[in-house]
């Protein structure tokens, strides 16, 4: 009896498998054109992506990098206006690189350089626009992006946005030098506005988290100063 039951179950399983196979075959036959079309589309997309990166983006990146060398040289010499528009030698400034090589990593870097250049030239709205468009890769660039934006807002007396960006800079990572630097800027700006509790919190974070940093070596006097103000 048990033997017959097992044989019956085996036959039913075989029938089920045959049904599944037939259903799958029917589905493939009915949808063959659609499936082949989707597969062809995927092949074209992947191939196009590889082609675009290898034969369009890579040469564009190379050209952009060669163009930006002179602008970077001017930037390092503090010749910020020249770096932006006319670095000399027939090379492009940061602004032309942004316009002509959009979508490249080099043009993205030029956004940062342009933002800092405008900050140094006292054109704070332009600085904020270009820095805001810059997409940082890695925590160090995030520190400097948000820190520079904080400086630009502070120069405009927009202290709420300045503090917000200093906070982002301080929280960008755990770099002792940069995190403590922007925490101190944040604390000093809070203190300037009479927000002594917030200033104390920023200074104490330096004391607790970055005691061996340059800012940490004398942070006790800042804590005592704002504590005395209540």
Residue 203, in any domain of the structure:
yes
Q: Please report how many Cα atoms fall inside a 13 Å half-sphere around the Cα of residue 51, on the Cβ side.
A: 6
Long-range contacts of 121-130 (CB under 8 A, 24+ apart): 121/80, 121/81, 122/155, 124/152, 124/153, 124/155, 124/156, 125/156, 127/152, 128/152, 128/153, 130/98
> Which residue segment(s) compose the domain that 195 sits in?
138-230
pLDDT at residue 25, rounded to an integer: 54
* Of residues 22 and 29, more confidently modeled: 29
Its pTM stands at 0.74
Residue 218, in any domain of the structure:
yes
Residue 211, in any domain of the structure:
yes
Residue 1, in any domain of the structure:
no
Residue 59, in any domain of the structure:
no
Residue 215, in any domain of the structure:
yes
Task: Give the CATH number for residue 159.
Answer: 1.25.40.10
pLDDT at residue 184, rounded to an integer: 96
pLDDT at residue 14, rounded to an integer: 44
* Of residues 229 and 97, more confidently modeled: 97
pLDDT digits (tens, 9 = 90+) for 147-171: 999 999 999 999 999 999 999 999 9
User: What is the number of domains present in the chain?
Assistant: 1
Residue 159, in any domain of the structure:
yes
Residues 6+ apart with CB under 8 A from 188: 199, 222
Query: What is the pLDDT averaged over residues 26-47?
Result: 54
Q: Please report how many Cα atoms fall inside a 13 Å half-sphere around the Cα of residue 54, on the Cβ side.
A: 6
Residue 184, in any domain of the structure:
yes
pLDDT for residue 204 is more than 70: yes
Query: What is the pLDDT averaged over residues 103-122?
Result: 95
CB 137 within 8 A of CB 94: no
pLDDT at residue 141, rounded to an integer: 87
How is residue 55 written in tokens?
Answer: 């034969």
How is residue 173 written in tokens?
Answer: 């990572």
């Amino acid at each position: 009896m048990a033997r017959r039951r097992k044989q019956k179950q085996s036959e039913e399983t075989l029938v089920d498998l045959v049904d599944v196979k037939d259903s799958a075959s029917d589905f493939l036959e009915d949808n063959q054109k659609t499936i082949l079309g989707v597969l062809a589309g995927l092949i074209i997309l992947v191939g196009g992506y590889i082609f675009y990166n290898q034969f369009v983006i890579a040469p564009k990146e190379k050209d952009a990098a060669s163009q930006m060398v002179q602008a970077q040289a001017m930037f390092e010499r503090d010749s910020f206006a020249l770096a932006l528009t006319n670095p000399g030698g027939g090379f492009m400034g940061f602004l032309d690189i942004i316009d002509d090589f959009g979508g490249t990593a080099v043009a993205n870097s030029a956004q940062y350089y342009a933002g800092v250049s405008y900050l140094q030239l006292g054109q704070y709205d332009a600085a904020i626009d270009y820095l805001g468009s810059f997409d940082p890769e890695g925590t160090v660039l995030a520190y400097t992006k948000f820190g520079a934006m904080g400086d630009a807002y502070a120069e405009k007396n927009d202290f709420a946005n300045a503090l917000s960006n200093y906070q982002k800079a301080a929280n960008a990572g755990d770099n002792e030098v940069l995190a403590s630097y922007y925490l101190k800027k944040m604390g000093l700006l809070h203190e300037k506005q009479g927000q002594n509790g917030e200033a104390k919190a920023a200074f104490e974070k330096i004391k607790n988290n970055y005691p061996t940093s340059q800012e940490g070596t004398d942070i006790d006097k800042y804590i005592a100063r704002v504590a005395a103000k209540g």
